[in-house]
Every structure is written in C-alpha cells, then in structure tokens.
Structure 1
C-alpha cells in the first residue's frame, strides 16, 4: 500500500541491520496499540505493520484481528520511516512481536528468525502465484505468506504527452528525450523518487540482466548495465528530472500536484491518481535500458512472517493461517479496498472485480507480462552495494565499471557468507 516503499522504503526495503542493532538499546513502545481489548482466549499476540499510506488500512487490519476468536491480537502500526529499524531492533529484545510483515530475506531464515510455514501453506500452495512461493522458499521450506503483490511502473498524463508531441517511451533513450520535451517552467518531465533507488532493479532487468543468476552468482555486472548507468547519469544531470520532491515516489502527489508529467510509482496509488486526474492517467513499464533488453516491472509487496524466537509460535501460526490462508474475503478486501494490489492467491485475483477493467486491468497485464519478483538471496547488504553504485556513478559521475567492481567485492563477500 502506498506506504513506505523503499527509497529507504522501496516497497521492499529491508533491514539496515547495523542501524537496527544500534537502535536496539533505545527502543520505546510505539503505534496505536490496540486491535482487540478483550475476548479471545488467554493468548496475547502482537503484530507489527508499517503505516500504509492509504486511508482505512489501519482500521482494516485491526478489524480483522478483532474478528479472531482464539487469541487477543494487538497491532503496532509503525511510522513508515521508522518501521525497519524499529522492527529489527525490537526483534533482539524480549518485547519482540509474535508476527510481522516484511519481505523475503534469506538471512532471516539462516539466523532462525522466521518460522517455517510450509505446513500451513501446503494445502493451498497451488493457489498462490508460483513466483510468490519461490521467493519465500529456502531448501524446499516456505517461510512467509504473501499478502499482496505490488507492481510498479511509470504513471503519466496522456494530455501532457500529446501536447508535447511525445509518444510513450519504450527505451531509456526515449524516456530521456521525453523528459526533456515535457519539462516546462515549473513542471519537470520525470520523477523517479528522491534517491532513485526504486529504479535500480528495473534498470538492471531492462538491460537483460539480473541481480543474481540461478546459481546465486552475480548477474548485474554487464556491459548493458554499465551503459544504463551512463544513461541514468545523463538523465540526472539533464535538469529534466524532479529532485527533492516533498513526498517520495510511492506517494502520488508529485504527478497529482503537477510537479511532473511522468512519475515512477506503484499500482497501490492508482485510485488516488484516478480520483485526482480522472481519465488523464496512463501507465507503462520500465523501458528497455538498451536495445537488446526487455521492458520490466518490479513486483514489490508485503508478506506475513512468524517470529520463530517468540513465546507463542504455534498461536501466531494459527492466526496467520486463519487470516492469510482461510479468510479470503479479508484477503480480497486488503488487496483491493484501500489501494490496488494484486492478490497473490490466483483464485482471489481472478474474482477481484476492481482489477478486471480499465487501468487496474492494464496493471495486471503488465505485471503478468514483465513482472520480476524479489530474490530471497538478494540481501540488504547487496541492495546497499548497488545503491552505492548509483550514488557514485549517477549522482557523482564516477566510472560505472569501477563502481560495479567495488559492488562485486561487497556482494561476493555476502554470497560467500550465505552460500559458501
């Protein structure tokens, strides 16, 4: 949901473990601490959610919790910017939540932080998008339940493109040209978010590369990716990119308020775009970085995990099973009533009427055709290594090959730790 996506919250952001450790000593209680005051059995469970940007989300999560009869489920609703640090700091203490939402990350599995949920997913496994199962599976065991899939693409105002004589870009070069033609007075042609982190992976995929290959070896260090970094540098220095916007890319305000003609954002914001701009809104995937590449759509999303080190592991698993496996009505409500997300369960995705026509249906089509999912082996340290490449080469103009070599060292160090 619109909430925090990366950019320190790229809709997938993960633990800056060091910051989490540093914060561990200073943790205070937080968030609207209710969800159920009474009733239920004697078991008390606490769940952590980041504060989604869409109205009604906090009330919905607490409403579902209140309907559960076998435990008292309390929800901590935590400011998006603080969520990651707060979660990972608290997991190190005796105040740790019993369950929490996050993204699949192999170090949580390797450190024994998250419980194996294979047994509760097994009966409905075939109803999940196979890519969502794969991205949560290590050595044949599945460690989280996907709640929503969040495709990200470019949103644009057709009226502005028409006026400037610009066609929808299919290559990164065309996107750069479009940004130039669409920049007028106070309106910048393009917005990619304040730190550009959200487009790193799409740029790699659109160059025909990947973060890691199926042997868990580096797959991003290619000529096409180096070429893409040079193009991003050209864009960054062009004067046609909106930088320092009041809200980050996951919030629809930049396009809605007329600060830009094209904005990278997520499907979650579609209802807000439509409410403000009516029919003057379209979408397209991240264009081909190089001619031999392929358009791409990053699929973010959020998953429910059970804290394997918690006091009530079995009770927490039962709650996850009840809400995210059995309660299909709530699952569809969560995916389509507040922002638009694609339900990871095929049966729900097929019956979700709000996604069947118009712009949402187009979003589903782009997701199916060009979607890329998280790789559970691509850890926060690796994400940071590529953010450093962008900092050094896109922002500061350093040599892409040298920056990529430096990233390789950091990524290989991590790979060796994780996979030997």
Structure 2
C-alpha cells in the first residue's frame, strides 16, 4: 500500500537524494527506522495521561478506502479505539511520540519496531499476543520483528517490490525480460524512443530504493550473522558501476511527476520499465490491461541471482500507553484473530500478499494473471528487505555511499568501506 508521500522523494530530480526524508516506502525499501526520542521510563502518567479510548496510529495510505477500512475495523472492536491516520513524515512522528503525551497506544511501523524501540523498552512484548498463530505467519516477516526470541510486532500484510514492464514496447524493441543487470541496461537503450525512457527507478535514479537489491542480487547481504558489514564486495562494486552507467546513459527517466511507488509515469507511457510495488498492480492493470508483465531485480555477477525484496508494516504497542493491556487485546483481535479483516486489508485496497500462510488459499485474486506472476516472485526469489539490526544510521551511511557512486561517480570501494566503518561503529552500541 502506498503512502501519501511515497518513497524518499527529493522534491526535484536534481536535488541530492541524501537530503530526502523517511516515509512509508522508504521504510519498506529497507531502513530499520529512527531512534526513539523519548525513553520508555518517561511515559504518560497522572493527570497528563490522555483518557481512554486507546488510540491507534497509521500513516496515510495512497489506496482509496484504506482510512475508511481502518476506522471500520476499530468500530467493530468490543472497546473504544480511536484511529488516527497521519500525513507527512509518519515514521519520524511515530518514533518521536512514543511515551509522550498524546502519543499512540497502538501504532504500525515499517517492518516492525526498530531495535532502539525494543532495547529501550518503549514497545511491549507481543509474544503472548500471537500465541499459537506464530507458525502461521510468514517466517521471514515474523523473524524481522523478533529480538532474542520475543516478538514485538505483528505483520499486517506483505508488500513486494518488483519491475513492471510494457509487453508491447518490449515486443516492438525485440527484447525480453532482463535476467541480469547488464541486460536491463542494454534493454533500456533500445526501449528509449522519442519521449519514452527505458527505465524508471524513482526521482533519485534509484539510489534510495535499489541499493539493497543490488547487494542481494550480487549474492551478498547488509550484515553477516555476527552483525558485521557484508556489502563491501567486488560484485556489489560492479553492480553500482552498472547503475552509474545507466544514470549517465540518458535512458533513465529522471523527471517524472511522481516517485517510484506511484505508477503514473508508467501508465502514461513515459517509461517502458518501472521499479515499483505489488500494491500498484491493480491501478496498472485497470489502465493497461494485459499489456503488463513483471520481473524481479535481475542478477549481478556469476554468483548472484534475481531478487524481489519484501517487507511488512507491523502492528506494535507502546509500553507506556494509556492501557497497554487493552492495546494488546486490540492488536490480537485485529491482526491475529480476525483473519477475515486481514484478508480484506490485503486484497481490497491495492494488491498484497497476506502475512498468514493459511490465508493464501483464500486470496483468490492471487491465483491468476499478473497477480499470480507477482506472487510467484515472492515464493521463488523473495528476500526480506533488511535485518532488524540495520538501523537508520546504518541505512543513511549506506544510501549516502550509493548516491556518491551513482550520481557523482565516486569510487564504489572507497564509498562502501566508509559506510562500513559507520555501520561497525553504530552496531558497537549494542551488547551481544
């Protein structure tokens, strides 16, 4: 589901991508989240506490009907719950508001609460909330919201990122879906005709959204199992150098009116290929019919492989909220017990894969056509977007390095090593 301000939009294709703000699609592009501003011990107490009902926070989704659905769900619950749908930089606002007067009791967060929220005690343990349903959730999603065996977020639905392409344009150009990043660059060359550009990766030329896919497609990861940088590798250098060549080629759309999570430029025929999300497929299909196909981020190097990153917003509970017990009960009711509402949330507003394996058989829209092709990518080359320990400081350093390489031609090895130094120092904050 798309946010009102999706991705890391810089506001202008010529502005530095380093300065862009976090938003929903940035979170689901891999960033772990912001540091908690208020410690758990500074919660709402005494007369300053907001009276019940419990308040649940959500960001402003782009799909029609989402806000209405969230309010409708809450009205069905046995106790009063106020739903607040927030505009702007939701993720920063949610992180800053934890434990503060007027903050949320229940809130959603990209890929679940971040590690600082967890270790500071700002969010409640939800292991008991999920109970026996634990085995029914997609393991990779739930693992991302788990720390030292305890669960701190309940996945709401699965968002998948992928490439969409115009079949007719590919046929006219005599190209097929690229299997490697080099093939994508070559295809972009012949697909660029007149006002049409071959590929669109977002306002920043992809530096804020495809850095992770480059690492994964090259056969590597952000971190090793013992939490050390794992992205300083020759294959990653090669992938970034290829992105640099695409950025300079003239075949990359850089002046679209909307960012990568919105399919407007693709539907308008300004590009033959766009990196976006599964959530956009209903809008695309309604406009273009069968003239659309999907493929994953293509492989890099001999040991790499295709990848389709996925993530999920997770429901969390503020540990120092007005009524943590009632907040837990609401999360359990909506995201564990009410599978009918979970299916509605996944299928009625945009297109998503349910977070529960038992719901897949009931997700009828995923069985045929374009949606089935996209769902197959999740099952075959799907990859979680980032580990829990990939903090906002890690992510910022990594994205800054990508920007320097792709947009400014800096040496990949030098920039990634500098980012790795930041990551190493950042992770030293935590005791293993």
Q: Same fold (TM over 0.5)?
A: yes
- Contact preservation (8 Å) 2:27, 2:33: no
5+ residue gaps in structure 1?
22-41
SS at structure 2 position matched to 1:161: helix
Whole-angstrom CA distance in 2 between matches of 1:355 and 1:201: 26
The counterpart of 2:415, out of the listed 391, 403, 406, is 403
Q: CA deviation at 1:268?
A: 0.6
The counterpart of 1:87, out of the listed 87, 94, 99, is 94
SS at structure 1 position matched to 2:251: coil
Whole-angstrom CA distance in 1 between matches of 2:26 and 2:170: 27
- Contact preservation (8 Å) 2:307, 2:382: yes
Q: CA deviation at 1:200?
A: 1.0
**CA deviation string 1:301-355 (max 9, x = no partner):** 2110111121211110000001111111100000001111111101112221111
Q: CA deviation at 1:291?
A: 2.9
For normalisation by structure 2, the TM-score amounts to 0.89
- Contact preservation (8 Å) 2:32, 2:387: no
Whole-angstrom CA distance in 1 between matches of 2:6 and 2:383: 16
CA distance 1:419–1:240, shift in 2 (3 Å): farther
5+ residue gaps in structure 2?
9-21, 39-50
SS at structure 2 position matched to 1:237: helix
Whole-angstrom CA distance in 1 between matches of 2:27 and 2:158: 10
**Over aligned residue pairs, what C-alpha RMSD do you find?**
1.6
**CA deviation string 1:35-86 (max 9, x = no partner):** xxxxxxx84111111111110111001100011122x11111112x421222
**CA deviation string 1:172-205 (max 9, x = no partner):** 0000011111111211110111122111111110
The counterpart of 1:10, out of the listed 16, 20, 26, is 26
Q: Which residue of 2 aligns with 1:28?
A: none
Q: CA deviation at 1:5?
A: 4.5
CA distance 1:118–1:350, shift in 2 (3 Å): same
Q: Which residue of 2 aligns with 1:129?
A: 138
1:4-403 matches, within 5 Å, as 5-7=6-8, 8=22, 9-12=25-28, 13=31, 15-17=33-35, 43-70=52-79, 72-79=80-87, 81-91=88-98, 93-102=100-109, 103-104=111-112, 105-195=114-204, 196=206, 197-373=208-384, 374-403=386-415
- Contact preservation (8 Å) 2:32, 2:388: no
Whole-angstrom CA distance in 1 between matches of 2:343 and 2:418: 44
How many residues align? The count is: 397
SS at structure 2 position matched to 1:96: coil
